[in-house]
A and B are shown apart, each in its own frame.
Chain A
Amino acid sequence: MADNGGKKITLKSSDGEEFEVPEVVAMESQTIRHVIEDVCAKNSIPLLNVNSKILSKVIEYCKKHVAAAEAAASKASTEEGTAAAASVTKPSDEDLKTWDAEFVKVDKGTLFNLILAANYLHIPGLLDLTCQAAADMIKGKSAKEIRKFFNLKNCISPEEEEEIRRENQWAFEEEKRTRAFDAYA
C-alpha cells in the first residue's frame, strides 16, 4: 500500500495513545468515515471505547485489507480482458484469507474486544471475520458451555428449554431414513 504523501488521520485510543494512519485506512471504518466527511475531523479523533492494544490490531487489519484491495485493483487493470483476469481462484484472495485466519488466532478476551471494536467502528469485514471466529469457537459446545464462553448468566429453565424445542419441532421431526429399496415397494 502506498504510504507516502496521502492525507493522514490521528486516532486516539481510550488510554491516550495516538496512532497516525493514512486517511484511506481510517476510512475502512464507516464510523470514522462519517466523522471525517460530516464533521470535518480535527487533528485527532478520540475513540473512547477502544484501547490501544485493540486499536493497533484494528489498524493492522485495515492496513492489510486496503493494501490487498489496491493490489487487486492494480492487477485487474493490467490483465483486463485476458484469461488470467477470469481465473477461477485468485492467489491474492487466498493469501488474504490465510492472513485473516492468522489474524483472529487470538485469545478469547482479545477476540471479544475486537468484536466490540469492529461493531463500534462499523468495519463490516472485521465484524464478519470475528463473528466467524466466535462461531468456530463455540462449534460443538452445549448451551451451558456457550453461556460460559460468552459470560452469560443462565436464566433458562428446563421448562423454557422444552418450550423452545416445542415451538421449533419442525427442526427435530424424526428423520427416519428410508431403506434403499431395491424391489418395487
Chain B
Amino acid sequence: MSEERQRGKNVGGSNTVARRHSLTGEASPSRRRSSVAVWPEHFVESVAVQVAVDATLSEGRLAAGPAIVHFFQVCSTWRGMSQSEMLWQDLTNRVWSHHHRQLPSWREEFIQLHRTARNFRMRRSAHSHLLAPTCPAKSCCCLSISDTYLAAGFLDGNVCVFTLPGGEPIANFSCHPSRDRLGRFSQCISGLAFLSNPTRVVFAYRDGDIHVAPLNDGPLGTSHRAHAGDVVVDGPLLDFSGNDRWWIGLFAGAPGRSWHVWEADTEQLIYVGGSLTDAGALMGWYMLTDFGAPVVGRVRLAGSRIAVGCSSSRIQVMDLDNPGFIINELAVQQGELAVDSVDATSEEKIVYVDLNGLAKVCRVPTLDEICRFDALRREMQGQNQGEAARVVACMNWGYVICFSGWAGAWDAQTGVFLYRFRERVRNVVAAVANNRYVAAWSADSGLHLWDFGVM
C-alpha cells in the first residue's frame, strides 16, 4: 500500500480521517440515504488492488483487468476510483511488476501492458526483418533487448544497435582487426546488456574485454573499455549478462575462475571464482578458434540480485548481494542440458531444455518446477523421435518461445502450447524476449523482430 496516503492523526478528539470520501455509492447529494457504511478511500483502493492481485494469482495476469472493472461497477463512487492514478500505479506495479511509466498516465500504462499480454496470447504481432545474413563467420551470436533498443553481437566482434519499435539501425561498433590475436573468434561478442541512467549498451568480447557505449548522450558509435580481459589467466568468456547493478561473466578454461562479477556503477571486478565450467574447460578454449564450437556455458540474471549460470550438466544460482555464494544448485545428467535453451526473467524464473526436447520452467532460487512441456512436439511436426534437434529458447513474464526448426509459444505458468509462429524461421542460433518483443537471429534468414505491442 502506498505510503504517501495520509491517515487520520487526530487521536484524542475529533473523528477525522485525512480523506473523508464517503464511499456510500451516493452519486449526488440529492440521493442521500441513511445507515450506509463509510469506507476510507485508500482502504477501498487497497481492496481493489488485492482483488486484482488475487485474480492474477488464480487465473493469470489477463484476469486482473476484468476483475478491476467489475469492481468499478459496484457503485458510482467506486467507479470514481477508476480515475485514481495511485490505484493504477499500484496495479501496474503489483500485477505486471512494472515500475516505470512510459505513457502519459498509469492507467494507459496498465492498459498497454494488458493489451500486449493479450496479443502474446492471441499470436497478434507485427513481424519485421531487420538484417539479412552475410557469411557464417559473421553471424550473430547473441542478442539483448530493452523497451527501446535491440542489440546484436556478431562473431566478427561487431555490435549493431536498433531502435524499437521501428527497428532502425542507429549505431554500429566495429571490432579492431587485430583483436583476433588469440584465435579467430577471440573477438566474438559473448554477451550484451542495456544500462539506464544514462542509456548505454555494454558488450563483452570472448577474450574478456568489456566495453560500454552511450546511446543517448554523446556521439554514437564510440565506446570505452571498462575492463581489460586476460584470457591467459581467466580463459575465454563464454557468456555475459548485466543490469544497472551487476555485470556477470561466465568463463571456462581456467579452473576455479568460472564466475566473474562486476559492480556496474564502478565497473569494478568484485568477485572471481567457482568451478561451474571446469569440466568444460577444454571445450571453452576451442571457442576461441573453432567455428561452430558447442556452447559450453550460459549466464543470465534472474532478478535484481540473483544470477543463474549453467553448464551442460549443472545449474547454479548465485546471490549477487553475496557474490560467490551459491544459493542453490541442480545437477542434470551429464551433457543433457541444452545450454542454448537456458533463459531467465527478472521475475525469478528460468527455462531450460534437455537434449530430448523436454523443457522445464522453474522458480529461482528454489529451482522448484513450475511446469514442463515438449519443446519439440515431434509427433505433431512429423519428425522422428530420437532425432537430435537444437532448441533455442527465450522467455518473458508469461511465455516461453522455443525455436527448433519452427517457432512456438508456450504458457510459462502451465506449459500449455499456445501456437506456432506464422513466420518460418529456421536454424535460429540466438533469441531474446521481453514483455513486448521477441527477436531471433536465423543463420538462414538473419534478424527477425516480432512486436506484440501493436494495438
Q: A residues within 8 Å of B by Cβ?
A: 30-32, 34-35, 45-49, 86, 88, 112, 115-116, 119-122, 124, 127-128, 131-132, 134-136, 138-139, 143, 146-147, 150-156, 160-161, 164-165, 167-168, 170-173, 175-182, 184-185
Query: What is the distance, in angstroms, from A89's C-beta to the closest C-beta of chain B?
Result: 8
User: Which residue in A119, A143, A152, A156 is a CB contact (below 8 Å) of B36?
Assistant: A152
List 20 additional A-B contacts (Cβ < 8 Å) besides A31-B9, A121-B11, A146-B74: A32-B11, A45-B11, A45-B12, A119-B43, A122-B7, A131-B43, A135-B54, A136-B54, A139-B51, A143-B73, A151-B35, A151-B37, A152-B36, A155-B75, A156-B74, A156-B76, A170-B114, A180-B418, A180-B419, A181-B420
Interface residues on B, range: 35 or more
- A35→B13 CA distance, assembly (Å): 12
Closest 6 CB pairs of A and B: A171-B65, A135-B50, A122-B7, A131-B46, A151-B37, A182-B380
Interface core residue of A30, A115, A124, A131 (most chain B CB under 10 Å) = A131
B-side contacts of A139, CB under 8 Å = 51, 54
Interface of A is mostly: helix
Can you pick out 15 interface pairs between chain A and chain B where the beta carbons lie within 8 Å of each other?
Answer: A48-B11, A88-B328, A121-B11, A131-B46, A131-B47, A143-B74, A147-B74, A152-B25, A153-B26, A153-B75, A164-B72, A168-B82, A175-B121, A178-B418, A184-B420
Q: Is the CB of B65 within 8 A of A170?
A: yes
Question: Is A46 in contact with B73, judged by CB distance below 8 angstroms?
Answer: no
Task: Report the bound CA distance from A156 to B70 in whole Å.
Answer: 13
State in angstroms the CA–CA spacing of A158 and B33 once bound together.
20
Residue of A nearest to B423 (CB): A185
* B284 interface residue (CB < 8 Å to A): no
Report the separation of the CA atoms of residues A153 and B121 in the bound assembly, to the nearest whole angstrom.
39
**How many A-B pairs with Cβ below 8 Å?**
164
Q: Are A135 and B11 in contact (CB under 8 A)?
A: no
Residue in contact with A154 in the complex, picked from B69, B75, B115, B424, CB distance below 8 Å: B75
- Residue interface bits B34-46, CB-to-A below 8 A is 1, else 0: 0111011011001
Contact with A48, one of B15, B36, B76, B328 (Cβ below 8 angstroms): B15
Q: Which residues of B contact A151 (CB under 8 A)?
A: 35-37
Q: How far is the CA of A132 from the CA of B17 in the complex (A)?
A: 21
Write out the residue numbers on chain B whose beta carbons fall within 8 Å of the beta carbon of A181.
419-420
Question: Which residue of chain B lies nearest to A85 when distances are taken between CB atoms in the complex?
Answer: B322
Q: Which of B24, B40, B69 contacts A153 (CB 8 A)?
A: B24
- Cα–Cα, bound, A136→B31 (Å): 30
Least distance between B80 CB and chain A CB atoms (Å) = 11
Q: Report the bound CA distance from A79 to B79 in whole Å.
A: 50
Taking a contact as CB atoms closer than 8 A, the residue among A115, A147, A155, A185 that contacts B43 in the complex is: A115
